[in-house]
Structure 1
Amino acid sequence: MSATGSAYRRGPFREGDRVQLTDPKGRMHTITLTPGKQFHTHRGHVKHDDLIGEPDGSTVTNTAGTQYLVLRPLLSDYVMSMPRGAAVVYPKDAGQVIQMADVFPGASVVEAGVGSGALSMSLLRAVGDTGRVHSFERREDFATIARANAHAFFGEDHPAWTVTVGDLVESLPDAVEPGSVDRVVLDMLAPWECLEVVADALAPGGVLICYVATATQLSKVGEAMRDFGTFTEPQAWESLVRGWHLEGLAVRPQHRMHGHTGFLISTRRLAPGVTPPPRKRRPGRGYAAQEEAADEEASKGTDVTAAEAPPGTDDAEWTSEALGERVASAKRMRKLARGVVPPSPR
């Protein structure tokens, strides 16, 4: 029995397949092959019927003489062009999550939130049909779009995937047995709020990896991991990808690159009753002095007002808008949800 979706990744183009047309200038267009339909640009059109039955990696010429290279889109291509309500996790970061969290075939993985489903599809690819991906998303409209995007890519509903609409803290204890989860991936505004339920769900040695957009989030979740006491010392990093221009002797970095998209921070669950070894690298003097001053004020019973509190102290401040993210309007979300109804199984 073939793995889910593999039948749609090889062989001649069939009705319902998504294909990517690339013109001589490198512009890409993704279409779904439908008998009788045509793909139009301002420079001619291509008949879908001319592509159905052709092998992957073919070329086709439109009515104006423009030649297109025709290929099935890779997962990395698909996630960058699929319908989205929330910002997607870029392929460069999804690859880091899979590798650095050591997501393996048959693993039990918890993910929150789902967004548009980009990272979910990479996780499903990694765990295979024998694994489990339990995804949690607070917003029903995001979950609807994610399910439709995954269905369109795999060609069917993935048997390893369960999507729960609800809050992770409230829903996770009912969804999994304590100590039964191998990996947890959090892509959310305030992952530090979920550490207790995540620690209960993770098996000893299990990996927790968080994807956050800003340095303030990175700092807060890192300190929360240390303070919790049941995780190893967290490791944080980001990845930058810069393409290169290759033409004869003109070999140089491209002017545009995928710069900062987000930070990744990972840690591992310790065995029950085990405390992490003391850190040999102590925080800077300024940090220690700040902590001592805060403890002293607390011992005196001094009331620190919201105006005096440092930014990020109040969890209500952690919103998508405050972190500079573009938030899709309700009107746009309704339009996207109407347009991504999963097709019938092929």
Structure 2
Amino acid sequence: MHRPRARPVRRRRAGRRSRRGATPSFPAPGRSMRVWRALRRAAASSSSSSSFPADGKPRRRAWETSLSPLERVRRLLPPEEAAAVARGAAAAALEPPQARPEKEEEEEEVPLVAPRQALVGAAGPRSGPFRAGELALAAVPRKNNWTLKVLCRLAAETVLSSPSGLLPHRDIIGQLPGQVLRTSAGKRLLLRRPSLDEYVLLMPRGATIAYPKDISALLMMMDLHPGDTVLETGSGSGAMSLFLSRAVGPTGRVLSYEIREDHHNLAKKNYRHWRSAWQIGHTDEWPDNVEFILKDISAAAADLKSVTLDAVVLDMLDPQCALPVVHPSLKQGGVCAVYLANITQVIDLLDRIRSCKLPFLCERIIEVTHRSWSVLPAKLKHNKSSHMVGTQENIEEPPQNEYEEIHIQDEAVLKESEYNESLSAAAETNHSVPYIARPSHWQEAHSAFLTKLRKFGPLLS
């Protein structure tokens, strides 16, 4: 009587476990498959009545909530691009089978983010290889981890001369930027297009230029926008004029006054060389929006009467002489940024503003300093890098006596620093690469004081 009662209980428990999601174990394979199919049909029939709740929307089961890769990508895209992807997928599903392979090959070439990339590319991307007439910058490695930069204008019959050897320009023309080439002496050179700050530092100069770190701070002070009109006093070598030209854009205007003829001609030449090289190496055109004027700013009051200035930048020995001339044309609330080398010049400027009762308020006086760091692998004897001692995963472990000799050499070179000795000890146990991090020997120290003056209106009655 006991055995017939126990069998239905075990069957009932097995069925309950199968409905909960656990896989029941049955002795016979054929019988287990039939029972499993019967349970699936019973679950489907029982859940069909409850698939539509009171709100009228069907419930999604656990196996129905997984998303396809296309749906996951579609949720990350903006609504317009997601709708475009959905329309493309629906159109592909309605195509006949014989036309789908060609369509799929075309869609492989165009990624899902093609509209966004097209908007980025419309801003004027750079063309591919170097061409004759544009500027190229060669990075020459030197001793003690120094890098020498050589700027040249490419010509088919010219040769690039560097301390690492000679390299004909015809070997550079047609190559992509970022390519490493070898000179006649077998040394390697990295060729690329120069940025604007690199061109400013390497271009011919007569007067001392305003350094890019200071120019960037001056541009933030003036808060320039495309279409603004800016006055510059002291063209110098043309460094500030180039940055102002890019800041105001094609619809803006830059008036650059210079009293010395040699500086005036050099600034025009550097500006013209950069524009011509830009047009060759880029698809867009650098704006021709700088007007170089050879004239003393103190005698230009009549020329500025019909001009409304959004900002003024003064780079001259006595900027207080130019303030009475430029302030009537500067709009109310506009900024006058002054570039001065000595703090005594700043004091003279503020004293002139106070004594002459000029409508300028001094908001900031700053200097910009950068601190460069060197993070390099530790050097062994004979100028060999410690990364030659690889990890255990990629090379075999060297013999014990050979590694001890390398470690002794490493300690002989780096024994003056406890930090380097700890790195060497870590390298011995883990076979890792020890690094040295320290401030660079050459630091960009003080270059100028930047003064921000803002024009204000009279008091209201």
TM-score (norm 1): 0.73
Unmatched segments (≥5 aa) in structure 1: 1-5, 276-346
Q: Among 279, 288, 292, which residue is 1:159 paired with?
A: 288
Name the residue aligned to 1:19.
136
By relative contact order (CA 8 Å, sep 6+), the higher-ranking structure is 1
Unmatched segments (≥5 aa) in structure 2: 1-122, 280-285, 378-434
- 1:196-243 CA-to-partner distances (Å, cap 9, x unmatched) read 112101001111010011111011112223442412234211111121
Name the residue aligned to 1:136.
257
User: Does the CA-based 8 Å contact 2:140-2:164 persist in structure 1?
Assistant: no
Query: What secondary structure does 1:245 align onto?
Result: strand
- 1:10-67 CA-to-partner distances (Å, cap 9, x unmatched) read 4321101111111222111111100122123454311111111111111111122111
User: 2:363 and 2:348 mapped to 1: Cα distance?
Assistant: 12
Name the residue aligned to 2:440.
254
One-letter amino acid matched to 2:459? V
Alignment of 1:21-36 (within 5 A): 21-25=138-142, 26-36=147-157
One-letter amino acid matched to 2:167? V
Name the residue aligned to 2:299.
170
User: 1:65 and 1:159 mapped to 2: Cα distance?
Assistant: 42
Indicate yes or no: 2:331 matched with 1:203. Answer: yes
Name the residue aligned to 2:374.
245
Name the residue aligned to 2:206.
85
The percentage of counterpart residues that share the same residue type is 34
The structure with the larger Rg is 2
User: 1:10 and 1:175 mapped to 2: Cα distance?
Assistant: 41
Structure 1 residues 207 and 109 mapped into 2: Cα distance closer, same or farther (>3 Å)? Answer: same
CA apart distance, 1:96: 0.7
User: 2:190 and 2:301 mapped to 1: Cα distance?
Assistant: 46
Query: What secondary structure does 1:143 align onto?
Result: helix
Name the residue aligned to 1:68.
189
Q: Among 200, 208, 214, which residue is 2:342 paired with?
A: 214
Name the residue aligned to 2:234.
113
Query: What secondary structure does 2:350 align onto?
Result: helix
User: 1:63 and 1:232 mapped to 2: Cα distance?
Assistant: 60
Residues 7-16 or 41-50, more deviating: 7-16
CA apart distance, 1:274: 3.3
User: Does the CA-based 8 Å contact 1:230-1:274 persist in structure 2?
Assistant: no
Structure 1 residues 105 and 256 mapped into 2: Cα distance closer, same or farther (>3 Å)? Answer: same
- 1:264-311 CA-to-partner distances (Å, cap 9, x unmatched) read 10111112x338xxxxxxxxxxxxxxxxxxxxxxxxxxxxxxxxxxxx
Q: Among 155, 158, 163, which residue is 1:37 paired with?
A: 158
One-letter amino acid matched to 2:155? T
One-letter amino acid matched to 1:11? G
Name the residue aligned to 1:281.
none
CA apart distance, 1:159: 2.0
Name the residue aligned to 1:274.
459
One-letter amino acid matched to 2:366? W
User: 1:126 and 1:16 mapped to 2: Cα distance?
Assistant: 25
Structure 1 residues 219 and 79 mapped into 2: Cα distance closer, same or farther (>3 Å)? Answer: same
CA apart distance, 1:154: 1.8
User: 1:263 and 1:77 mapped to 2: Cα distance?
Assistant: 22
User: 1:105 and 1:37 mapped to 2: Cα distance?
Assistant: 39
TM-score (norm 2): 0.56
User: 2:327 and 2:374 mapped to 1: Cα distance?
Assistant: 46
User: 1:214 and 1:118 mapped to 2: Cα distance?
Assistant: 20
Q: Among 127, 130, 148, which residue is 2:248 paired with?
A: 127
Name the residue aligned to 2:58.
none
One-letter amino acid matched to 2:219? I
- 1:120-148 CA-to-partner distances (Å, cap 9, x unmatched) read 11111111111000000001110100011
Structure 1 residues 229 and 40 mapped into 2: Cα distance closer, same or farther (>3 Å)? Answer: closer
Count, aligned residues: 268
Which structure shows the higher helix fraction?
2
Query: What secondary structure does 1:174 align onto?
Result: coil
Structure 1 residues 274 and 22 mapped into 2: Cα distance closer, same or farther (>3 Å)? Answer: same
Q: Among 346, 351, 354, which residue is 1:223 paired with?
A: 351
CA apart distance, 1:172: 4.4
User: 2:373 and 2:215 mapped to 1: Cα distance?
Assistant: 21
One-letter amino acid matched to 1:261? S
